[in-house]
Protein backbone atom coordinates (compact mmCIF):
# COMPACT_ATOMS: atom_id res chain seq x y z
CA UNK A 1 0.00 0.00 0.00
CA UNK A 2 1.36 3.40 -1.02
CA UNK A 3 0.67 6.21 1.43
CA UNK A 4 0.86 9.95 0.83
CA UNK A 5 4.13 10.02 2.77
CA UNK A 6 5.83 7.38 0.62
CA UNK A 7 4.33 8.39 -2.74
CA UNK A 8 7.18 10.79 -3.72
CA UNK A 9 9.82 8.11 -3.06
CA UNK A 10 7.82 5.50 -4.94
CA UNK A 11 7.19 7.74 -7.97
CA UNK A 12 10.85 8.81 -8.23
CA UNK A 13 11.97 5.19 -7.98
CA UNK A 14 9.54 4.08 -10.71
CA UNK A 15 10.64 6.93 -13.00
CA UNK A 16 14.35 6.17 -12.56
CA UNK A 17 13.86 2.43 -13.03
CA UNK A 18 11.74 3.03 -16.14
CA UNK A 19 14.44 5.23 -17.66
CA UNK A 20 17.04 2.58 -16.85
CA UNK A 21 15.10 -0.27 -18.44
CA UNK A 22 14.22 1.85 -21.51
CA UNK A 23 17.82 2.89 -22.17
CA UNK A 24 19.18 -0.63 -21.62
CA UNK A 25 16.42 -2.15 -23.80
CA UNK A 26 17.42 0.05 -26.74
CA UNK A 27 20.79 -1.74 -26.86
CA UNK A 28 20.02 -5.15 -25.38
CA UNK A 29 16.47 -6.50 -24.78
CA UNK A 30 17.85 -9.49 -22.86
CA UNK A 31 19.75 -7.30 -20.40
CA UNK A 32 16.72 -5.04 -20.07
CA UNK A 33 14.63 -8.08 -19.12
CA UNK A 34 17.22 -8.93 -16.47
CA UNK A 35 17.09 -5.35 -15.18
CA UNK A 36 13.28 -5.61 -15.03
CA UNK A 37 13.54 -8.76 -12.90
CA UNK A 38 15.99 -6.99 -10.57
CA UNK A 39 13.60 -4.02 -10.40
CA UNK A 40 10.69 -6.28 -9.40
CA UNK A 41 12.79 -7.96 -6.71
CA UNK A 42 13.92 -4.55 -5.50
CA UNK A 43 10.30 -3.36 -5.42
CA UNK A 44 9.35 -6.32 -3.21
CA UNK A 45 12.12 -5.44 -0.75
CA UNK A 46 11.10 -1.78 -0.88
CA UNK A 47 7.44 -2.41 -0.04
CA UNK A 48 8.22 -5.02 2.62
CA UNK A 49 10.68 -2.73 4.39
CA UNK A 50 8.50 0.36 4.01
CA UNK A 51 5.59 -1.44 5.71
CA UNK A 52 7.75 -2.61 8.61
CA UNK A 53 8.73 -0.58 11.62
CA UNK A 54 12.26 0.73 11.15
CA UNK A 55 12.95 0.11 14.84
CA UNK A 56 12.92 -3.61 14.06
CA UNK A 57 15.86 -3.19 11.67
CA UNK A 58 17.80 -1.17 14.23
CA UNK A 59 17.46 -4.07 16.69
CA UNK A 60 18.98 -6.37 14.06
CA UNK A 61 21.95 -4.08 13.40
CA UNK A 62 24.59 -6.26 15.11
CA UNK A 63 23.53 -9.55 13.41
CA UNK A 64 23.38 -7.71 10.07
CA UNK A 65 26.86 -6.26 10.68
CA UNK A 66 28.28 -9.72 11.44
CA UNK A 67 26.54 -11.16 8.39
CA UNK A 68 28.00 -8.60 5.99
CA UNK A 69 31.52 -9.11 7.32
CA UNK A 70 31.09 -12.89 6.88
CA UNK A 71 29.90 -12.39 3.29
CA UNK A 72 32.80 -10.07 2.48
CA UNK A 73 35.25 -12.62 3.88
CA UNK A 74 33.54 -15.28 1.76
CA UNK A 75 34.06 -13.07 -1.32
CA UNK A 76 37.82 -12.90 -0.71
CA UNK A 77 38.03 -16.69 -0.30
CA UNK A 78 35.62 -18.03 -2.92
CA UNK A 79 34.58 -14.97 -4.91
CA UNK A 80 34.47 -14.71 -8.70
CA UNK A 81 37.22 -12.65 -10.33
CA UNK A 82 36.12 -10.27 -13.08
CA UNK A 83 38.52 -7.78 -14.70
CA UNK A 84 41.01 -8.10 -11.89
CA UNK A 85 38.48 -7.57 -9.09
CA UNK A 86 36.95 -10.16 -6.77
CA UNK A 87 33.56 -8.73 -5.76
CA UNK A 88 30.92 -11.33 -6.54
CA UNK A 89 29.76 -14.65 -5.11
CA UNK A 90 27.54 -17.11 -7.04
CA UNK A 91 24.18 -17.77 -5.38
CA UNK A 92 21.45 -19.71 -7.19
CA UNK A 93 22.74 -18.96 -10.67
CA UNK A 94 23.20 -15.26 -9.93
CA UNK A 95 26.31 -13.30 -9.03
CA UNK A 96 25.72 -11.27 -5.87
CA UNK A 97 27.91 -8.33 -4.85
CA UNK A 98 27.87 -8.18 -1.01
CA UNK A 99 29.68 -4.83 -0.90
CA UNK A 100 26.53 -3.20 -2.33
CA UNK A 101 24.42 -4.56 0.53
CA UNK A 102 26.98 -3.26 3.01
CA UNK A 103 25.62 0.25 2.31
CA UNK A 104 22.10 -0.10 3.83
CA UNK A 105 23.40 -2.45 6.53
CA UNK A 106 26.00 0.07 7.68
CA UNK A 107 23.41 2.85 7.62
CA UNK A 108 21.33 0.75 10.03
CA UNK A 109 24.35 -0.16 12.13
CA UNK A 110 25.65 3.40 12.44
CA UNK A 111 22.16 4.76 13.18
CA UNK A 112 21.78 2.23 15.99
CA UNK A 113 25.24 3.11 17.29
CA UNK A 114 24.55 6.85 17.52
CA UNK A 115 21.10 6.22 18.92
CA UNK A 116 22.78 4.82 22.04
CA UNK A 117 26.17 6.59 22.05
CA UNK A 118 27.00 9.94 23.61
CA UNK A 119 28.34 12.61 21.18
CA UNK A 120 31.94 12.40 22.41
CA UNK A 121 35.26 12.29 20.58
CA UNK A 122 35.78 8.75 21.84
CA UNK A 123 32.54 7.59 20.20
CA UNK A 124 33.37 9.42 16.96
CA UNK A 125 36.62 7.44 16.89
CA UNK A 126 34.84 4.24 17.88
CA UNK A 127 32.27 4.59 15.08
CA UNK A 128 35.11 4.94 12.60
CA UNK A 129 36.99 1.94 13.98
CA UNK A 130 33.84 -0.21 13.81
CA UNK A 131 33.65 0.65 10.12
CA UNK A 132 37.26 -0.28 9.36
CA UNK A 133 36.80 -4.08 8.94
CA UNK A 134 34.14 -3.53 6.27
CA UNK A 135 36.14 -0.79 4.54
CA UNK A 136 39.29 -2.94 4.54
CA UNK A 137 37.54 -6.00 3.09
CA UNK A 138 35.88 -3.94 0.33
CA UNK A 139 39.05 -1.98 -0.48
CA UNK A 140 40.91 -5.31 -0.68
CA UNK A 141 38.66 -6.57 -3.53
CA UNK A 142 39.62 -3.85 -4.76
CA UNK A 143 36.57 -1.56 -4.89
CA UNK A 144 37.51 2.07 -4.32
CA UNK A 145 34.09 3.40 -5.34
CA UNK A 146 32.13 1.48 -2.71
CA UNK A 147 34.81 2.23 -0.12
CA UNK A 148 34.35 5.95 -0.74
CA UNK A 149 30.54 5.64 -0.73
CA UNK A 150 30.52 3.88 2.65
CA UNK A 151 32.90 6.52 4.01
CA UNK A 152 30.43 9.17 2.85
CA UNK A 153 27.61 7.26 4.57
CA UNK A 154 29.61 7.29 7.82
CA UNK A 155 30.00 11.05 7.57
CA UNK A 156 26.30 11.54 6.69
CA UNK A 157 25.09 9.64 9.75
CA UNK A 158 27.67 11.45 11.88
CA UNK A 159 26.37 14.81 10.64
CA UNK A 160 22.79 13.84 11.60
CA UNK A 161 23.87 12.64 15.05
CA UNK A 162 24.01 14.81 18.15
CA UNK A 163 27.74 15.36 17.64
CA UNK A 164 28.38 19.12 17.64
CA UNK A 165 29.00 20.97 14.39
CA UNK A 166 32.44 21.96 15.71
CA UNK A 167 33.44 18.29 16.05
CA UNK A 168 32.06 17.50 12.59
CA UNK A 169 34.08 20.33 11.02
CA UNK A 170 37.20 19.13 12.81
CA UNK A 171 36.59 15.63 11.40
CA UNK A 172 36.41 17.19 7.92
CA UNK A 173 39.75 18.93 8.47
CA UNK A 174 41.36 15.71 9.71
CA UNK A 175 40.10 13.84 6.62
CA UNK A 176 41.40 16.58 4.31
CA UNK A 177 44.87 16.29 5.88
CA UNK A 178 44.79 12.48 5.61
CA UNK A 179 43.79 12.37 1.93
CA UNK A 180 47.36 12.83 0.59
CA UNK A 181 48.54 9.88 2.71
CA UNK A 182 45.86 7.65 1.14
CA UNK A 183 47.66 7.98 -2.21
CA UNK A 184 50.15 5.32 -1.11
CA UNK A 185 47.35 2.80 -0.38
CA UNK A 186 45.96 2.93 -3.92
CA UNK A 187 46.54 0.36 -6.65
CA UNK A 188 48.60 1.49 -9.65
CA UNK A 189 45.55 1.60 -11.94
CA UNK A 190 43.67 3.72 -9.36
CA UNK A 191 46.50 6.24 -9.31
CA UNK A 192 46.50 6.32 -13.11
CA UNK A 193 42.77 7.12 -13.09
CA UNK A 194 43.42 10.18 -10.96
CA UNK A 195 46.38 11.41 -13.00
CA UNK A 196 44.53 10.77 -16.27
CA UNK A 197 41.57 12.80 -14.95
CA UNK A 198 43.87 15.81 -14.69
CA UNK A 199 45.22 15.39 -18.24
CA UNK A 200 43.46 12.61 -20.22
CA UNK A 201 44.91 13.88 -23.51
CA UNK A 202 48.40 12.69 -22.50
CA UNK A 203 47.26 9.07 -23.05
CA UNK A 204 44.13 9.28 -25.25
CA UNK A 205 44.17 5.60 -26.23
CA UNK A 206 45.07 4.33 -22.75
CA UNK A 207 44.01 5.50 -19.30
CA UNK A 208 42.50 8.72 -20.70
CA UNK A 209 40.30 6.92 -23.26
CA UNK A 210 37.19 6.42 -21.08
CA UNK A 211 37.09 10.02 -19.94
CA UNK A 212 37.58 11.43 -23.43
CA UNK A 213 34.86 9.23 -24.95
CA UNK A 214 32.46 10.12 -22.15
CA UNK A 215 32.98 13.84 -22.80
CA UNK A 216 32.41 13.31 -26.52
CA UNK A 217 29.16 11.41 -25.85
CA UNK A 218 27.83 14.09 -23.48
CA UNK A 219 28.74 16.92 -25.85
CA UNK A 220 27.32 15.27 -28.97
CA UNK A 221 23.86 15.08 -27.40
CA UNK A 222 23.53 18.88 -27.57
CA UNK A 223 20.07 20.20 -26.55
CA UNK A 224 17.62 17.49 -27.65
CA UNK A 225 19.87 14.46 -28.16
CA UNK A 226 20.31 12.06 -31.06
CA UNK A 227 17.28 9.96 -30.08
CA UNK A 228 16.87 6.70 -28.22
CA UNK A 229 19.10 4.02 -29.74
CA UNK A 230 20.87 6.46 -32.07
CA UNK A 231 23.83 7.43 -29.88
CA UNK A 232 26.92 6.68 -31.97
CA UNK A 233 29.38 6.71 -29.06
CA UNK A 234 27.47 4.06 -27.11
CA UNK A 235 25.93 1.98 -29.91
CA UNK A 236 29.22 1.69 -31.79
CA UNK A 237 30.85 0.95 -28.41
CA UNK A 238 33.37 3.78 -28.48
CA UNK A 239 32.03 4.59 -25.01
CA UNK A 240 33.02 1.80 -22.56
CA UNK A 241 30.65 0.51 -19.86
CA UNK A 242 27.81 2.47 -21.45
CA UNK A 243 25.16 0.52 -19.50
CA UNK A 244 26.86 0.78 -16.11
CA UNK A 245 29.44 3.40 -15.07
CA UNK A 246 28.88 5.62 -18.12
CA UNK A 247 25.15 5.24 -18.62
CA UNK A 248 24.65 8.95 -17.86
CA UNK A 249 26.83 9.79 -20.89
CA UNK A 250 24.61 7.47 -22.95
CA UNK A 251 21.50 9.29 -21.71
CA UNK A 252 23.09 12.68 -22.38
CA UNK A 253 23.95 11.65 -25.94
CA UNK A 254 20.54 10.21 -26.76
CA UNK A 255 18.26 12.59 -24.80
CA UNK A 256 20.43 15.69 -24.82
CA UNK A 257 20.75 18.46 -22.26
CA UNK A 258 16.99 18.56 -21.60
CA UNK A 259 16.78 14.82 -20.90
CA UNK A 260 19.84 14.99 -18.66
CA UNK A 261 18.37 17.90 -16.70
CA UNK A 262 15.10 16.01 -16.23
CA UNK A 263 17.02 13.06 -14.82
CA UNK A 264 19.00 15.38 -12.55
CA UNK A 265 15.79 17.04 -11.29
CA UNK A 266 14.36 13.65 -10.32
CA UNK A 267 17.46 12.95 -8.24
CA UNK A 268 17.36 16.40 -6.64
CA UNK A 269 13.71 15.93 -5.68
CA UNK A 270 14.30 12.42 -4.32
CA UNK A 271 17.35 13.39 -2.25
CA UNK A 272 15.62 16.56 -1.07
CA UNK A 273 12.59 14.56 0.05
CA UNK A 274 14.82 12.14 1.99
CA UNK A 275 16.38 15.13 3.75
CA UNK A 276 12.91 16.52 4.48
CA UNK A 277 11.94 13.21 6.09
CA UNK A 278 15.16 13.33 8.10
CA UNK A 279 14.58 16.86 9.37
CA UNK A 280 11.00 16.17 10.48
CA UNK A 281 11.49 12.71 12.05
CA UNK A 282 12.55 11.55 15.48
CA UNK A 283 16.23 10.90 16.18
CA UNK A 284 16.49 7.30 14.95
CA UNK A 285 14.52 8.06 11.79
CA UNK A 286 16.63 11.14 11.13
CA UNK A 287 19.84 9.09 11.32
CA UNK A 288 18.53 6.50 8.85
CA UNK A 289 17.11 8.99 6.34
CA UNK A 290 20.26 11.15 6.45
CA UNK A 291 22.48 8.14 5.78
CA UNK A 292 20.41 7.19 2.72
CA UNK A 293 20.25 10.79 1.45
CA UNK A 294 24.02 11.23 1.67
CA UNK A 295 24.58 7.86 -0.02
CA UNK A 296 22.35 8.88 -2.96
CA UNK A 297 23.86 12.36 -3.12
CA UNK A 298 27.43 11.07 -3.13
CA UNK A 299 26.85 8.35 -5.73
CA UNK A 300 24.87 10.61 -8.04
CA UNK A 301 27.35 13.49 -7.79
CA UNK A 302 30.43 11.34 -8.34
CA UNK A 303 28.94 9.30 -11.19
CA UNK A 304 27.65 12.31 -13.10
CA UNK A 305 30.87 14.20 -12.29
CA UNK A 306 33.06 11.48 -13.76
CA UNK A 307 30.78 11.24 -16.84
CA UNK A 308 31.23 14.98 -17.37
CA UNK A 309 34.98 14.71 -16.81
CA UNK A 310 35.07 16.95 -13.74
CA UNK A 311 35.79 14.12 -11.26
CA UNK A 312 38.12 11.07 -11.46
CA UNK A 313 36.69 7.73 -12.62
CA UNK A 314 35.97 5.60 -9.54
CA UNK A 315 33.52 2.97 -10.76
CA UNK A 316 30.54 4.30 -8.81
CA UNK A 317 27.18 3.40 -10.35
CA UNK A 318 24.29 5.81 -10.95
CA UNK A 319 21.55 4.80 -8.44
CA UNK A 320 18.62 2.88 -10.02
CA UNK A 321 19.87 3.71 -13.53
CA UNK A 322 23.09 1.72 -14.05
CA UNK A 323 22.69 -1.93 -15.01
CA UNK A 324 23.27 -4.33 -12.12
CA UNK A 325 21.09 -6.29 -9.73
CA UNK A 326 22.98 -5.90 -6.47
CA UNK A 327 23.26 -2.12 -6.78
CA UNK A 328 19.61 -1.74 -7.74
CA UNK A 329 18.25 -3.95 -4.95
CA UNK A 330 20.55 -2.35 -2.38
CA UNK A 331 19.28 1.11 -3.33
CA UNK A 332 15.64 -0.02 -3.13
CA UNK A 333 16.30 -1.47 0.33
CA UNK A 334 17.77 1.87 1.39
CA UNK A 335 14.78 3.79 0.03
CA UNK A 336 12.51 1.33 1.83
CA UNK A 337 14.13 2.40 5.09
CA UNK A 338 13.32 6.05 4.34
CA UNK A 339 9.74 5.10 3.43
CA UNK A 340 9.45 3.23 6.73
CA UNK A 341 10.63 6.33 8.58
CA UNK A 342 8.09 8.44 6.65
CA UNK A 343 5.27 6.11 7.70
CA UNK A 344 6.31 6.13 11.35
CA UNK A 345 6.54 9.92 11.25
CA UNK A 346 2.87 10.02 10.22
CA UNK A 347 1.95 7.63 13.06
CA UNK A 348 3.82 9.78 15.57
CA UNK A 349 2.00 12.86 14.30
CA UNK A 350 -1.42 11.20 14.52
CA UNK A 351 -0.58 9.64 17.87
Condensed to tens digits (0 to 9), the pLDDT of residues 269-309 reads 999 999 999 999 999 999 999 999 999 999 999 999 999 98
Q: What is the pLDDT of residues 178-230, one digit of tens each?
A: 777 777 677 776 677 666 666 677 767 766 787 888 888 898 889 998 999 88
pTM for this model (two decimals): 0.92
* Stretch among 160-174, 183-197, 275-289, 315-329 having the lowest mean pLDDT: 183-197
The secondary structure of the chain, three-state, reads: CCCCCCHHHHHHHHHHHHHHHHHHHCCCHHHHHHHHHHHHHHHHHHHHHHHCCHHHHHHCHHHHHHHHHHHHHHHHHHCEEECCEEEEEEECCEEECHHHHHHHHHHHHHHHHHHHCCCCHHHHHHHHHHHHHHHHHHHCCCCHHHHHHHHHHHHHHHHHCCCCHHHHHHHHHHHHHHHHHHHHHCCHHHHHHHHHHHCHHHCCCCCCHHHHHHHHHHHHCCCCCCCCCCCHHHHCCCCCCCCCCCHHHHHHHHHHHHHHHHHHHHHHHHHHHHHHHHHCCCHHHHHHHHHHHHHHHHHHHHHHHHHHCCCCCCCCCCCCCCCCHHHHHHHHHHHHHHHHHHHHHHHHHHC
Confirm whether 69 is domain-assigned: yes
Confirm whether 182 is domain-assigned: yes
Write down the mean pLDDT value for the chain: 89
Structural domain total, the chain? 1
Confirm whether 266 is domain-assigned: yes
Confirm whether 120 is domain-assigned: yes
- d(CA 41, CA 70) in angstroms, rounded, equals 23
Kindly tell me if the per-residue pLDDT of 347 is higher than 90: no
Confirm whether 44 is domain-assigned: yes
Higher-pLDDT residue of 91 and 289 is 289
Residue ranges making up the domain that contains 166: 7-350
Confirm whether 2 is domain-assigned: no
Amino acid sequence: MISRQTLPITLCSVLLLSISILVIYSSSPSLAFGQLIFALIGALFYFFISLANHDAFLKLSIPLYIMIIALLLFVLILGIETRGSIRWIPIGGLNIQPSEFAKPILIIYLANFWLKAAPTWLNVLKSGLLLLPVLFLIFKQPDLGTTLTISAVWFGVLFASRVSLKKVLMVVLIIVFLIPASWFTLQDYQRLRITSFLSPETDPLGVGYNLIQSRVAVGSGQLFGRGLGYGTQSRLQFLPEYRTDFIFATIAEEFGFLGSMLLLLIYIFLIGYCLKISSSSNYDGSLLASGVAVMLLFQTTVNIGMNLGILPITGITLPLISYGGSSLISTMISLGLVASVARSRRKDFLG
